Structure 1
Amino acid sequence: MISWHSRVFVYVFDLHVADFSLDNKYIAAFISKLRFHFKQHYKIKRLGYAWCREQNTSPRQHYHMAIIVDGSKIQNPIRLFHKIKLMWDEVTLGGHLHGLENCYYNIKRDTEINKAEAIERLSYQAKVWTKDKNTARANDYGTSRIRPKPT
Structure 2
Amino acid sequence: MNHQYTSEDKFNNYDLPQPTKRKQRFFYRKFYLYKISQLIEKALKYHSRLSVFRIDLHLPEDFDDADSKVITRFFKSLNAKLDVDIKRKEKSWGRSLSNKTSYVWAKEKNTSKQYHYHVAIFLNKDIYHRLGDVGASEGCLAALMKQSWCSAIKQDKPALVHFCKNGVYYLNLNSSDVQSSKNELFKRVCYFAKPYSKVYQGNARNFGTSS
State whether TM-score is above 0.5.
Answer: yes
2 CA distance for matches of 1:61 and 1:24?
11
Q: Is the 8 A contact 1:8 1:68 kept in 2?
A: yes
Number of positions where the alignment pairs a residue of Structure 1 with one of Structure 2: 144
Q: CA RMSD in A?
A: 1.7
Q: How far 1:53 sits from its partner (Å)? A: 0.5
Give the aligned partner of residue 56 of structure 2.
14
2 CA distance for matches of 1:60 and 1:28?
18
Instruction: Give the AA of the match of 1:30.
Output: F
Q: Is the 8 A contact 2:78 2:144 kept in 1?
A: no
Change over 3 Å in CA distance of 1:15–1:60 after alignment to 2? same
Aligned ranges 1:48-87 → 2 under 5 Å: 48-78=102-132, 79-87=140-148
Could you tell me which of 115, 121, 144 is aligned with 2:210?
144
Give the aligned partner of residue 18 of structure 2.
none
Give the aligned partner of residue 44 of structure 2.
2
1 CA distance for matches of 2:52 and 2:98?
14
CA deviations on 1:7-42 (whole Å, 9 max, x unpaired) are 011001000011241142211111110111122212
CA deviations on 1:72-115 (whole Å, 9 max, x unpaired) are 11111112112211221232114710111011111100232432
In structure 2, the gaps of 5 or more residues are 1-42, 87-96, 133-139
1 CA distance for matches of 2:76 and 2:203?
22
Instruction: Give the AA of the match of 1:128.
Output: P
Q: Whose strand proportion is higher, 1 or 2? A: 1
Greater relative contact order structure (CA < 8 Å, 6+ sep): 1
Give the aligned partner of residue 196 of structure 2.
129
Give the aligned partner of residue 41 of structure 1.
85
Task: Give the TM-score, by structure 1 length.
Answer: 0.86
2 CA distance for matches of 1:44 and 1:24?
30
Instruction: Give the AA of the match of 1:119.
Output: F
2 CA distance for matches of 1:62 and 1:137?
18
Q: How far 1:136 sits from its partner (Å)? A: 5.5
**Which of these two proteins has the greater Rg computed from alpha carbons?**
2
1 CA distance for matches of 2:66 and 2:148?
21
Change over 3 Å in CA distance of 1:97–1:103 after alignment to 2? same
Q: Whose helix proportion is higher, 1 or 2? A: 2
Instruction: Give the AA of the match of 1:118.
Output: L
Change over 3 Å in CA distance of 1:139–1:26 after alignment to 2? same
Give the aligned partner of residue 26 of structure 1.
70
